[in-house]
Amino acid sequence: MDVLLIGDGGHSKVIQDIIQSEGKHRVIGLLDDKYERGSIRNNVFVGPVDSIFERLQENVGIILAIGNNGVRKKLVERLQIHPSQFVTVIHPSAIVSPSASIGRGTVVMPKVVVNANAVVNDHCILNTGSTVEHDCFVDRFAHLSPASTLTGQVYIEEGVNIGAAATVIPGLKIGSWSVIGAGATVIEDITANQTAVGCPAKVISKASVI
């Protein structure tokens, strides 16, 4: 399938590599508001985000190639594109259980593991080497940073950001739009809109809410 990527920064470059490795899609456009007008670069259209309405067709998919959780949510609300047009990409080195579910627009990067009965909702990022263990639930617009681990039956609400190499022990709940710092070990529930760091993780401030 031909795809349009919204975002042309570092995260977009990684997604382009995944698309090339996966071999299922072809990038035909890079849309980013840093471009004032459209042009062709290496046979790929580049232009502002709103040019999507000129380029989008029924057989063209979309990927939000932006790392910021809040920005991805705002773009979904702004563009009002039918959910069926968002494309999921999974690197060939990722291990995804047959009983797991991966939502539309989610990006699964190299060496990720998603185990039995896990559910990952729409527009999430499972970054390099992250692990989603059995029976976890990850809601929309969440981001698991590289080498982070959700052990069994963890519930992650919308927009949560789990930092690099952080671990959440079994059965816990992380409230919406919270941030878990890099290297943290979470041993108790974290309520919505909190920033928690350390080992064990302690809440230090309110998280920025979109």
Whether 174 contacts 168, CB under 8 Å:
yes
Instruction: Name the active-site residue from 11, 91, 123, 134.
Output: 134
- DSSP for residue 85: G
Give whole-number Cα distances, 4 to 39, 85, 88, 160, in Å: 14, 10, 12, 25
Does the annotation mark 25 as catalytic? no
Exposed/middle/buried for residue 165 (C-beta within 10 Å: 0-12, 13-18, 19+): middle
Phi, psi of 13 (to 5 degrees): -60, -40
- Beta pairing partners, 131: 113, 149
User: How many angstroms from the chain centroid is the CA of residue 85?
Assistant: 16
Residues classed as catalytic: 134
